[in-house]
């Protein structure tokens, strides 16, 4: 099958009979099997996808197909899909079958998308390498000895390695954008509340978002346009009307863009990434835009604030998995107390237990005000400072990650180093603002580099338009 870098030419070939949905599904099933060593999928819905493809082919013939006819998707193992398993990359939900479909997934299905399978991820979204999964680590297709990023690592690798056309991931602290950068694809984190969280297994409820991973910015715009909007099942979903993101036209209006001075001058950022950022800044200036260094005065508080608040929320959210009602139940339990302790002790992985304990600590009576309350105040200050910068600048431009993909196992024994991988991404989650990672070439080892754009709340249309100008898109499929 010829490589498609965006959905429009694929759909054109479908309408003109040069390809069929059944052909697409068979192609991806073959790719999933041949690239099984990447461990991107934890479940593949082969026969179901074939049946659905045949139905959609008939719709195309009849002229009744939806906007996503021919879009073969994978969904992260944190999104519910009725009558299919969902485990969040954890043993604690062994054998659990979802009774309903997440709103975001259902809206894509309603437009004739085909879900081909469930994708591997860090346990409940906790991680930046996709090594914290009960199903084992995912491998980066650019170098299978390296991580794909996390927590949506399986979702990013599946698009990178042509195992599906696009993926649906989740982003709590960079979990769509960081793996997108490591894998050389596009990852969009919408404004908090732009996409319903109904049917998403909760990690940190005030941070969690659902976003697409695609090959092109245009495809991210299409998926967002269909997923976004109010939802009676989610009170945090915004009632704001959804703009036609796919119809936002490019403008030649000069923009004012800020970039973090520390990203170019500070230690800890790979030289190759700094060079790509310099190239982007120079190109933007040549195109007539104003690009200036900015300082985020509260930057050093971003990671502590993020991890205090998210661990507190995960301590609460994961308390529902107790071995009693559903999921994993320890066979060694002898009474109610041991049932709780052993089921949770055996069912959760090391990283999940670490964050649950940290969260329980910061919520405890003696430390609640010292940590949790103070972090909430800092979160508000970070939002105010970011909004002040965005009142002066149209967008903020950062590297997505401080390094390219690191080797498997390299950071497993150093949780602090793993946390530092989120240094550029957590700002969007702490503030709830939209951000996108776009490919920006590779380093000397051929490892992908991503640049991140952060914009104002509910400004996805302008954000996507600007992202098109930065997207470095290869002409051929690399894998």
Enzyme catalytic residues: 76, 151, 175
Do residues 145 and 445 lie in contact, with contact meaning Cβ atoms separated by under 8 Å? no
- Put residue 249 in one of left, alpha, beta given phi > 0 → left and psi -120 to 50 → alpha: beta
CB atoms within 10 A of CB 342: 18
Give the bridge partners for 210, in sequence order.
170
Do residues 461 and 245 lie in contact, with contact meaning Cβ atoms separated by under 8 Å? yes
What b-and-e string marks burial along 188-219, b requiring 16 or more CB atoms within 10 Å of the CB? bbbbbbbbbbbbbbbbbebbbbbbbbbbbbbb
CB atoms within 10 A of CB 109: 18
Do residues 381 and 430 lie in contact, with contact meaning Cβ atoms separated by under 8 Å? no
* Cα 36 off chain centre by: 21
Do residues 353 and 383 lie in contact, with contact meaning Cβ atoms separated by under 8 Å? no
Distance, in Å, from the CA atom of 367 to the CA atom of 450, rounded to the nearest integer, reads: 38
Give the bridge partners for 435, in sequence order.
189, 454
Residue 70 dihedral angles phi and psi, to the nearest 5°:
100, -5
Distance, in Å, from the CA atom of 199 to the CA atom of 80, rounded to the nearest integer, reads: 5
- Number of residues assigned to the chain: 479
Distance, in Å, from the CA atom of 109 to the CA atom of 354, rounded to the nearest integer, reads: 36
Distance, in Å, from the CA atom of 213 to the CA atom of 122, rounded to the nearest integer, reads: 16
Q: How far is CA 202 from CA 54, 302, 321, 458, in A?
A: 34, 21, 12, 22
Q: Nearest CA to 462 among 251, 277, 287, 256?
A: 251
């Amino acid at each position: 099958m010829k490589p498609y870098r965006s959905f429009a030419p694929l759909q054109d070939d479908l309408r003109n009979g040069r390809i069929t949905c059944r052909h697409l599904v068979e192609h991806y099933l073959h790719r999933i099997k041949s690239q099984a060593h990447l461990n991107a999928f934890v479940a593949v819905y082969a026969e179901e996808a074939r049946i659905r493809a045949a139905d959609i082919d008939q719709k195309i013939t009849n002229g009744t197909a939806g906007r996503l006819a021919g879009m073969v998707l994978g969904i992260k193992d944190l999104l519910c899909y009725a009558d299919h398993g969902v485990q969040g990359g954890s043993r604690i939900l062994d054998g659990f079958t979802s009774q309903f479909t997440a709103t975001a997934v259902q809206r894509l299905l309603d437009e004739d998308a085909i879900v081909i399978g469930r994708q591997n991820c860090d346990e409940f979204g906790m991680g930046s390498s996709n090594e914290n999964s009960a199903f084992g680590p995912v491998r980066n297709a650019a170098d299978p000895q390296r991580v794909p990023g996390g927590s949506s690592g399986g979702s990013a690798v599946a698009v990178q390695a042509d195992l599906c056309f696009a993926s649906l991931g989740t982003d709590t602290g960079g979990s769509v954008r960081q793996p997108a950068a490591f894998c050389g694809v596009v990852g969009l984190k919408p404004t908090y509340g732009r996409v319903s969280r109904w049917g998403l297994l909760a990690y940190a409820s005030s941070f969690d978002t659902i976003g697409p991973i695609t090959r092109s910015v245009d495809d991210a715009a299409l998926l967002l346009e269909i997923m976004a909007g109010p939802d009676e099942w989610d009170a945090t979903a915004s009632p704001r009307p959804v703009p036609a993101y796919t119809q936002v036209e490019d403008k030649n209006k000069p923009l004012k863009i800020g970039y973090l001075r520390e990203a170019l001058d500070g230690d800890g950022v790979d030289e190759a990434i700094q060079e790509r950022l310099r190239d982007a800044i120079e190109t933007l200036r040549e195109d007539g835009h104003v690009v200036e260094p900015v300082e985020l005065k509260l930057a050093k508080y971003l990671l502590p604030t993020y991890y205090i608040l998210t661990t507190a929320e995960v301590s609460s959210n994961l308390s529902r998995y107790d071995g009693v009602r559903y999921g994993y139940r320890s066979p060694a339990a002898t009474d109610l107390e041991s049932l709780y302790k052993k089921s949770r002790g055996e069912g959760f992985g090391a990283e999940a237990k670490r964050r649950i304990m940290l969260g329980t600590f910061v919520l405890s009576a003696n430390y609640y005000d010292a940590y949790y309350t103070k972090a909430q105040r800092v979160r508000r200050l970070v939002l105010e400072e970011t909004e002040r910068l965005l009142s002066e600048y149209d967008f903020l431009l950062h590297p997505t990650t401080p390094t390219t993909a690191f080797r498997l196992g390299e950071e497993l024994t150093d949780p602090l180093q793993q946390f530092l991988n989120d240094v550029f991404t957590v700002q969007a989650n702490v503030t709830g603002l939209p951000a996108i990672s776009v490919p920006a070439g590779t380093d000397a080892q051929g490892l992908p580099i991503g640049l991140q754009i952060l914009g104002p709340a509910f400004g996805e249309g302008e954000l996507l338009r600007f992202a098109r100008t930065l997207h470095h898109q290869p002409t051929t499929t690399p894998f």
